[in-house]
């Protein structure tokens, strides 16, 4: 059943979407948290290193005759750490060089330094070979009584950041795999959840089919009994005769409803008997016009056929007749007295035949156009009931067209009229 398949896909999709958003948020948060913790840890190390270098340099500035021991500058030995000390007039005083790979970049950064003292900043740079280098740097002023120097301390964190990037890629990949698995599970679970619903739906369809089938016989008996009573000359009282007439007309309405219901239920169960034969659509349309003319005449409506010519198709005669009757009957029902209904053969070629039923009636509002083919849908319930309608006519018409692999469409303007167009295949095979 199409509706269950669609619901299953929609459920699985909604589930996958929620999972996708959830996973994306998790990956994003984890990435940010790792980034933040890595940055704060490295920034702390850099600040400690800067303090240590500044302390040692201050000592040597205050004790100019002490022998300089380069090893004292960094408390911990770390070959990724580097520093440069410049005098006030931008002379390089002392340094621990950054690796050759990044030194030029580091010097350029220092050259255009405009970051507050003590702030730690990450700088990225791609070299000519496309390799991305990442350094973290901070600055500190070294002030003694007679000089001011500026210290830049940095760390090559390329490996750390590229590790973080790889970890994030791995998370995205795993997230994607998890999403695929979750979608498959979601699809499977949605299918399982729909099983009882589908069973209940099938039972309900079967019930509608059985009930309408079983109702036909008693209704036929009531109808025959009413006919019998009406034929009895001993019932002379006009009131009683009227009661019998009313009874007959109500039973007739009910019989129609029951047979419509049966038709719909059978089409749901794919149990519609379908007998394809070669027939001339024009002949059927002519017959329908003949049958419906008395009804049209009662309302003073002109019912006519137009452009009729031979139109041979493969179809089920009874069903096509029923389809044409539904459309013409509606056209007459929803057209005020004195109007016109036209049945026109619009197109006949090798592959398809198109006919239309047009009226000059009340029309259908644009927002109702899509819905008129739904079961039990009636734009104006009171008017439809008054005319003997039950809202199943067009649903059955659409079903018949579908059975013939054809198309039905409607165009309408409120107050001006409606046109139903049906396209049928010439060489339908079943
Ligand atoms: P009903 O038994 O109520 O006629 P249908 O399924 O045949 O049920 O039609 C559904 C609704 O579509 C009708 O109630 C009516 O409001 C609208 N409709 C159908 N045909 C026409 C038409 N030719 N002109 C205006 N409204 C129409």
**How many C-beta atoms surround the C-beta of residue 138 within 10 A?**
22
CB 51 within 8 A of CB 17: no
Distance 342 CA to ligand 1 centre (A): 17
Contact partners, residue 230, CB within 8 Å, separation at least 6: 241, 244, 245, 248
CB 63 within 8 A of CB 153: no
pLDDT at 303 (0 to 100): 96
Residue 316 burial (10 A CB sphere; 0-12, 13-18, 19+): buried
pLDDT at 77 (0 to 100): 66
Calculate mean pLDDT across residues 111-123: 92
pLDDT at 29 (0 to 100): 96
If you take atom 8 of ligand 1, which residue's CA is the nearest one? 391
Confidence of residue 72 (pLDDT cuts 50, 70, 90): confident
Choose the weakest-confidence range: 64-68, 274-278, 363-367: 64-68
Is the predicted pLDDT of residue 430 greater than 90, yes or no? no
CB 355 within 8 A of CB 422: yes
| CA within 13 Å, CB half, 271 | 12
Picking from 156, 141, 120, 148, the residue whose alpha carbon sits closest to that of residue 53 is: 141
pLDDT at 69 (0 to 100): 82
Q: Long-range CB contacts (< 8 A, 24+ apart) of 379-383?
A: 383/334
If you take atom 20 of ligand 1, which residue's CA is the nearest one? 330
Calculate mean pLDDT across residues 319-346: 95
Distance 334 CA to ligand 1 centre (A): 7
pLDDT at 389 (0 to 100): 76
Distance 134 CA to ligand 1 centre (A): 73
Whole-angstrom Cα distance, residue 209 to residue 301?
36
Whole-angstrom Cα distance, residue 260 to residue 110?
88
Report domain extents, the chain: 2-166, 277-425
Pairing of strands 407-413, 92-96: unpaired
Residue 358 burial (10 A CB sphere; 0-12, 13-18, 19+): buried
Distance 303 CA to ligand 1 centre (A): 18
CB 306 within 8 A of CB 344: yes
Pairing of strands 352-359, 340-348: antiparallel
Confidence of residue 100 (pLDDT cuts 50, 70, 90): confident
CB 340 within 8 A of CB 332: no
Rounded to 5 degrees, φ, ψ at 255 are -60, -40
Kindly state the helix (H) or strand (E) to which residue 83 belongs, with its residue range: strand 81-87
User: Which pair of tokens denotes residue 30?
Assistant: 């984890």
Distance 398 CA to ligand 1 centre (A): 13
- Residues above pLDDT 90, as percent of the chain: 71
**How many C-beta atoms surround the C-beta of residue 60 within 10 A?**
18
Whole-angstrom Cα distance, residue 151 to residue 81?
13
**How many C-beta atoms surround the C-beta of residue 110 within 10 A?**
17
Whole-angstrom Cα distance, residue 54 to residue 141?
8
If you take atom 11 of ligand 1, which residue's CA is the nearest one? 378
CB 401 within 8 A of CB 407: yes
Residue to probe by mutation, ligand 1, list 378, 383, 400, most atoms within 8 Å of CB: 378
Atom of ligand 1 at shortest distance to CA of 388?
A: 2
Atom of ligand 1 at shortest distance to CA of 362?
A: 25
Residue 365 burial (10 A CB sphere; 0-12, 13-18, 19+): exposed
Choose the weakest-confidence range: 14-23, 284-293, 386-395: 386-395
User: Which pair of tokens denotes residue 87?
Assistant: 């005098």
Higher pLDDT, 428 or 134: 134
Choose the weakest-confidence range: 44-58, 179-193, 195-209: 195-209
Which residues does residue 312 pair with via DSSP β-bridges, in sequence order? 280
pLDDT at 21 (0 to 100): 96
Distance 126 CA to ligand 1 centre (A): 71
Q: Is the pTM of this model over 0.75?
A: no
Is the predicted pLDDT of residue 324 greater than 90, yes or no? yes
**How many C-beta atoms surround the C-beta of residue 166 within 10 A?**
10
Confidence of residue 337 (pLDDT cuts 50, 70, 90): very high
Calculate mean pLDDT across residues 277-294: 95
If you take atom 14 of ligand 1, which residue's CA is the nearest one? 378
Confidence of residue 146 (pLDDT cuts 50, 70, 90): confident
- Range list of β-strands (E), 296-416: 302-306, 312-315, 340-348, 352-359, 407-413
Residue to probe by mutation, ligand 1, list 362, 364, 375, most atoms within 8 Å of CB: 364
Confidence of residue 1 (pLDDT cuts 50, 70, 90): low
User: Is domain 2-166 annotated with CATH 3.30.450?
Assistant: yes
Q: Which CATH number fits domain 277-425: 3.40.50.2000, 3.30.565.10, 3.40.640.10, 3.40.50.1950?
A: 3.30.565.10
Whole-angstrom Cα distance, residue 211 to residue 258?
9
Atom of ligand 1 at shortest distance to CA of 390?
A: 2
Q: Which residues of 398-417 are buried (b: 16+ CB within 10 A; e: fewer)?
A: bbbbebbebebebebeeeeb
pLDDT at 325 (0 to 100): 94
Residue to probe by mutation, ligand 1, list 331, 363, 371, 384, most atoms within 8 Å of CB: 384
Distance 127 CA to ligand 1 centre (A): 74
Distance 376 CA to ligand 1 centre (A): 10
In whole numbers, what is the pLDDT of the chain averaged over residues? Answer: 91
Residue to probe by mutation, ligand 1, list 296, 340, 379, 411, most atoms within 8 Å of CB: 379
Calculate mean pLDDT across residues 218-222: 93
Is the predicted pLDDT of residue 187 greater than 70, yes or no? yes
Distance 314 CA to ligand 1 centre (A): 28
CB 235 within 8 A of CB 245: no
Distance 158 CA to ligand 1 centre (A): 74
If you take atom 23 of ligand 1, which residue's CA is the nearest one? 331
Choose the weakest-confidence range: 25-39, 117-131, 196-210, 372-386: 372-386
Write out pLDDT tens, residues 343-392: 999 999 999 999 999 999 999 999 999 899 998 888 887 777 777 778 88
Distance 379 CA to ligand 1 centre (A): 7
Whole-angstrom Cα distance, residue 52 to residue 57?
9
Provide the CA 385 distance to its chain's centre, in angstroms.
Answer: 36
Kindly list the protein residues whose Cβ atom lies closer than 6 A to any atom of ligand 1: 330-331, 334, 359, 361-364, 372, 377-380, 384, 389-395, 418
């Amino acid at each position: 059943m199409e509706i269950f398949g669609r619901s299953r896909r929609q459920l699985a999709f909604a589930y996958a979407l929620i999972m996708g958003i959830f996973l994306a948020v998790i990956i994003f948060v984890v990435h940010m948290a790792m980034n933040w913790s890595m940055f704060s840890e490295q920034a702390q190390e850099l600040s400690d290193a800067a303090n240590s270098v500044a302390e040692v340099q201050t000592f040597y500035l205050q004790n100019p005759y002490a022998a300089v021991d380069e090893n004292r500058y960094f408390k911990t030995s770390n070959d990724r750490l580097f520093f440069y000390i410049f005098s006030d007039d931008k002379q390089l005083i002392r340094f621990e060089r950054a690796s050759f790979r990044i030194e030029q970049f580091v010097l350029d950064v220092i050259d255009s330094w405009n970051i507050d003292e003590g702030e730690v900043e990450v700088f990225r740079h791609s070299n000519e070979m496309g390799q991305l280098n990442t350094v973290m740097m901070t600055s500190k002023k070294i002030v003694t009584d007679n000089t001011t120097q500026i210290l830049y301390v940095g760390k090559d964190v390329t490996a750390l950041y590229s590790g973080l990037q790889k970890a994030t890629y791995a998370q995205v990949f795993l997230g994607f795999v998890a999403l695929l698995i979750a979608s498959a599970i979601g699809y499977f679970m949605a299918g399982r959840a729909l099983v009882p619903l589908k069973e209940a739906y099938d039972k309900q369809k079967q019930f509608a089919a059985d009930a309408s089938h079983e109702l036909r016989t008693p209704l036929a008996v009531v109808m025959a009994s009413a006919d019998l009573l009406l034929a009895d000359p001993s019932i002379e009282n006009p009131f009683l005769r009227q009661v019998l007439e009313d009874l007959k007309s109500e039973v007739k309405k009910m019989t129609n409803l029951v047979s419509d219901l049966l038709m719909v239920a059978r089409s749901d169960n794919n149990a519609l008997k379908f007998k394809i034969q070669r027939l001339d659509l024009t002949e059927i349309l002519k017959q329908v016009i003949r049958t419906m003319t008395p009804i049209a005449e009662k309302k003073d409506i002109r019912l006519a056929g137009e452009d009729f010519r031979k139109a041979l198709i493969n179809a089920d005669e009874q069903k096509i007749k029923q389809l044409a009757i539904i459309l013409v009957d509606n056209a007459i029902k929803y057209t005020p007295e004195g109007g016109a209904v036209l049945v026109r053969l619009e197109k006949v070629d090798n592959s398809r035949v198109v006919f239309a039923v047009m009226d000059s009636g009340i029309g259908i509002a644009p927002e109702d156009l899509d819905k008129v083919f739904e079961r039990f849908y009636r734009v104006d319930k009171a008017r439809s009931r008054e005319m003997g309608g039950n809202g199943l006519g067009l649903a059955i018409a659409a079903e018949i067209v579908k059975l013939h692999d054809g198309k039905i469409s409607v165009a309408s303007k409120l107050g001006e009229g409606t046109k139903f167009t049906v396209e049928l295949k010439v060489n339908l095979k079943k």
